[in-house]
Structure 1
Amino acid sequence: MIHAKSDRSSIEELLEADGTQIQLSVPALTKKIINRNEGTLTDTGAVQAETGAYTGRSPHDKFIVKDEETFERVDWGKVNQPMTEETFLHLYHKVINHLKQTDERFVFKGYAGADEKYRLPIRVITEYAWHNLFARQMFIRPDEEEENSHEASFTVLSAPGFQADPETDGTNSEVFVTMSFKHGIVLIGGTQYAGEIKKSIFSVMNYLLPKQDVLPMHCSANVNEDGETALFFGLSGTGKTTLSADPSRALIGDDEHGWSDKGVFNMEGGCYAKCKDLSAESEPDIYKAIRFGAVLENVAVNPRTGTPDYEDTSLTENTRVAYPLDHIDNALEESKAGHPETIIFLTADATGVLPPISKLTKEQAMYHFLSGYTSKLAGTERGVTTPQATFSSCFGAPFLPLPPSVYAKMLGDKIDEFNTDVYLVNTGWSGGAYGTGKRMNLFYTRRMVHAALNGEFNNTDMYQDPVFGLNIPLQLEGVPEDILIPRNVWEDKDAYDRHAMELANKFHENFKKFTYADESIANAGPVKH
Structure 2
Amino acid sequence: MKTEHTGLEEYGFRNLARINWNLPTPALYEQIIMRKEAILSHLGPVVARTGHHTGRSPNDKFVVDEPTTTGDVYWSKDNKKFTEAQFDKLFSKMASYLQTKEVFVQECYAGADANTRLKVRVITETAWHSLFARNMFITERDQEVLKDFTPDFTVVNCPRFHAIPEEDGTNSETFIIVNFKRKIVIIGGTSYAGEIKKSIFTVMNYLLPKHGVMSMHCSANIGEEGDTAVFFGLSGTGKTTLSTDPERYLIGDDEHGWNNDGVFNIEGGCYAKVINLSKEAEPDIYECTRKFGTILENVAVDMTSRAIDLDDNSLTENTRASYPLSQLPKIVESGKGSHPDNVIFLTYDAFGVLPPVSKLSIPQAMYHFISGYTARVAGTEKGVTEPKAVFSTCFGAPFMVWHPSVYAKLLGDKVKEKNVQCWLVNTGLTGGPYGVGKRFSIKYTRAIIKAILTGELNKTEFKTDPVFGFGIPQFIPGVPAEVLDPSFGWSSRQAYDDMLKNLASKFAENFKKFEEGMDPEITKGGPNL
Task: Please classify the TM superposition score into its range, dividing by the shorter chain length.
Answer: over 0.9
Shift of 1:201: 0.2
How far apart, in 2, do the equivalents of 1:450 and 1:79 lie?
36
Indicate conservation of the 8 Å contact 1:348/1:374, yes or no.
yes
Match of 2:79? 80
Shift of 1:51: 1.0
Q: Is there any run of 5+ residues in structure 1 with no aligned partner, and where?
A: 1-6
Shift of 1:180: 0.5
Amino acid at match of 2:505: N
Shift of 1:297: 0.9
Match of 1:57? 56
1:331 and 2:331 matched: yes
Structure 1 residues 81-90 or 238-247, which shifts more? 238-247
Shift of 1:470: 2.4
Map 1:55-204 → 2, pairs under 5 A = 55-102=54-101, 104-144=102-142, 145-204=144-203
Residues 208 and 385 (structure 1), Cα distance of their counterparts in 2 relative to 1, 3 Å cut: farther
1:473 and 2:467 matched: no
Amino acid at match of 2:441: N
SS at match of 1:316: coil
Shift of 1:325: 0.7
Indicate conservation of the 8 Å contact 1:262/1:338, yes or no.
yes
Q: Is there any run of 5+ residues in structure 2 with no aligned partner, and where?
A: 1-6
How far apart, in 1, do the equivalents of 2:429 and 2:496 lie?
12
Residues 31 and 493 (structure 1), Cα distance of their counterparts in 2 relative to 1, 3 Å cut: farther
How far apart, in 2, do the equivalents of 1:135 and 1:180 lie?
20
Q: Deviations for 1:180-233, whole angstroms, at most 9, x for unmatched residues?
A: 011111011111111110100000001111122211111111111222111111
Q: Deviations for 1:150-205, whole angstroms, at most 9, x for unmatched residues?
A: 11111111111111111001101111100101111101111111111010000000
Match of 2:218? 219
How far apart, in 2, do the equivalents of 1:124 and 1:410 lie?
30
Match of 1:271? 270
Indicate conservation of the 8 Å contact 1:56/1:382, yes or no.
no
Q: Deviations for 1:276-310, whole angstroms, at most 9, x for unmatched residues?
A: 21111101111122211011111112223222212
Residues 499 and 311 (structure 1), Cα distance of their counterparts in 2 relative to 1, 3 Å cut: farther
Q: Deviations for 1:460-503, whole angstroms, at most 9, x for unmatched residues?
A: 12233333222122232222332222221334545433332221
Q: Deviations for 1:399-422, whole angstroms, at most 9, x for unmatched residues?
A: 011111111111111111100000
1:514 and 2:512 matched: no
Indicate conservation of the 8 Å contact 2:12/2:95, yes or no.
no
Match of 1:416? 416
Shift of 1:238: 2.4
Match of 1:283? 282
Indicate conservation of the 8 Å contact 2:391/2:510, yes or no.
yes
How far apart, in 1, do the equivalents of 2:419 and 2:296 lie?
40
Shift of 1:385: 9.4
Match of 1:463? 463
Q: Deviations for 1:114-142, whole angstroms, at most 9, x for unmatched residues?
A: 11111100011112211111111000000
Structure 1 residues 333-342 or 229-238, which shifts more? 229-238
How far apart, in 1, do the equivalents of 2:282 and 2:128 lie?
25
Residues 464 and 251 (structure 1), Cα distance of their counterparts in 2 relative to 1, 3 Å cut: same
How far apart, in 2, do the equivalents of 1:257 and 1:199 lie?
12
Residues 246 and 156 (structure 1), Cα distance of their counterparts in 2 relative to 1, 3 Å cut: same
Q: Give the TM-score, by structure 1 length.
A: 0.93
Shift of 1:42: 1.6
Match of 2:295? 295
Residues 158 and 314 (structure 1), Cα distance of their counterparts in 2 relative to 1, 3 Å cut: same
How far apart, in 2, do the equivalents of 1:322 and 1:272 lie?
4
How far apart, in 2, do the equivalents of 1:46 and 1:344 lie?
33
Indicate conservation of the 8 Å contact 1:56/1:379, yes or no.
no
Structure 1 residues 293-302 or 514-523, which shifts more? 514-523
How far apart, in 2, do the equivalents of 1:166 and 1:381 lie?
27
Map 1:340-419 → 2, pairs under 5 A = 340-375=340-375, 388-419=388-419
Map 1:430-441 → 2, pairs under 5 A = 430-441=430-441
Shift of 1:349: 2.0
Structure 1 residues 205-214 or 414-423, which shifts more? 205-214
Q: How many percent of aligned residue pairs carry the same amino acid?
A: 54
How far apart, in 2, do the equivalents of 1:176 and 1:379 lie?
28
The alignment yields a C-alpha RMSD, in angstroms, of 2.2
Q: Deviations for 1:253-296, whole angstroms, at most 9, x for unmatched residues?
A: 11111111111110000011111211111011111222110111
Indicate conservation of the 8 Å contact 1:317/1:378, yes or no.
no
Shift of 1:18: 1.9
Residues 518 and 19 (structure 1), Cα distance of their counterparts in 2 relative to 1, 3 Å cut: closer
Match of 2:245? 246
Match of 2:4? none
How far apart, in 1, do the equivalents of 2:90 and 2:158 lie?
11
Residues 12 and 386 (structure 1), Cα distance of their counterparts in 2 relative to 1, 3 Å cut: farther
Q: Deviations for 1:313-357, whole angstroms, at most 9, x for unmatched residues?
A: 111111111110111111111001111111001112222221121
Amino acid at match of 1:480: P
Match of 1:3? none
Residues 312 and 105 (structure 1), Cα distance of their counterparts in 2 relative to 1, 3 Å cut: same
How far apart, in 1, do the equivalents of 2:95 and 2:490 lie?
57
How far apart, in 2, do the equivalents of 1:101 and 1:391 lie?
45
Map 1:16-35 → 2, pairs under 5 A = 17-35=16-34
SS at match of 1:487: coil
Residues 175 and 471 (structure 1), Cα distance of their counterparts in 2 relative to 1, 3 Å cut: same
Amino acid at match of 2:158: A
Match of 2:3? none
SS at match of 1:205: helix
Indicate conservation of the 8 Å contact 2:217/2:255, yes or no.
yes
SS at match of 1:486: coil
Amino acid at match of 2:141: D
Structure 1 residues 458-467 or 211-220, which shifts more? 458-467
Indicate conservation of the 8 Å contact 1:58/1:382, yes or no.
no
Shift of 1:112: 0.3
SS at match of 1:472: strand
Shift of 1:510: 1.4
Structure 1 residues 482-491 or 395-404, which shifts more? 482-491
Amino acid at match of 2:319: T
Alignment coverage as a number of residue pairs: 520
Residues 130 and 420 (structure 1), Cα distance of their counterparts in 2 relative to 1, 3 Å cut: same
Indicate conservation of the 8 Å contact 2:13/2:98, yes or no.
no
Structure 1 residues 275-284 or 305-314, which shifts more? 305-314
Q: Give the TM-score, by structure 2 length.
A: 0.93
Match of 2:307? 307
Residues 387 and 85 (structure 1), Cα distance of their counterparts in 2 relative to 1, 3 Å cut: farther
Shift of 1:379: 9.8
Match of 1:4? none
How far apart, in 2, do the equivalents of 1:44 and 1:171 lie?
41
Residues 380 and 266 (structure 1), Cα distance of their counterparts in 2 relative to 1, 3 Å cut: farther
Map 1:26-45 → 2, pairs under 5 A = 26-45=25-44
SS at match of 2:446: helix
SS at match of 1:213: coil
